[in-house]
Structure 1
Amino acid sequence: MKGNFQKMISGSQPVLVDFHATWCGPCKMQAPILKEVSAETEGKARILKIDVDRNRQLADKYQVRGVPTLILFKNGKPVWRQSGVAQKHQLIKLINQNA
């Protein structure tokens, strides 16, 4: 996953990464919000979901200490991050600003 991940976040199109876990309650709340954001910003950004339990090295690399943690990457670099559930309007605005 590591090499693929780097390739996925390296483009000029923003990539919103949701670091989550299957056992996490707030992550379950974040999932439908991300689906709506994806539908409303279609083509402007890519949304990836990374399970921290299956991708521990990746979570460690980006210092993910709590889930959900959302990180927006552009050109391979993190430009925004937030731990906890993010609201739809906030994410749409963020994507539009970075698209």
Structure 2
Amino acid sequence: MEALGIVAIILSIIGVFTPMVGVLFAGISGLLALFSCKNRNSYALAAVILNAINLVLLSPQMFIVAISSRESNFFDMSGFKYFFWSILLIQVVGIILYMKNKPSTVV
């Protein structure tokens, strides 16, 4: 599961620097991190937090399109809102899973 966390953080870093496709990288990275958050992987937590920051703060145009009620004249953005919010929900679920699981104790 450590490898999934490392791949997740690499994809989230690539997603920060990739315009427009970074949201897709955040979704893939979030799913990989979600699978490894069960084991309290710190790489997965870092990837999830980086994805959430990327979606909300570093992609302001994407966030504005997702929260706006106005439709675009040029593009059909109706499905994008559901896509954006589902990817953001994946990040929130990853943080909740990380906080919910207890750390493993070595005896």
The alignment's TM-score, normalised by the length of structure 2, stands at 0.28
TM-score (norm 1): 0.29
Greater share of helix residues, 1 or 2? 2
- Work out which of the two has the higher radius of gyration on C-alpha atoms and give 1 or 2: 2
Q: Which has the higher strand share?
A: 1
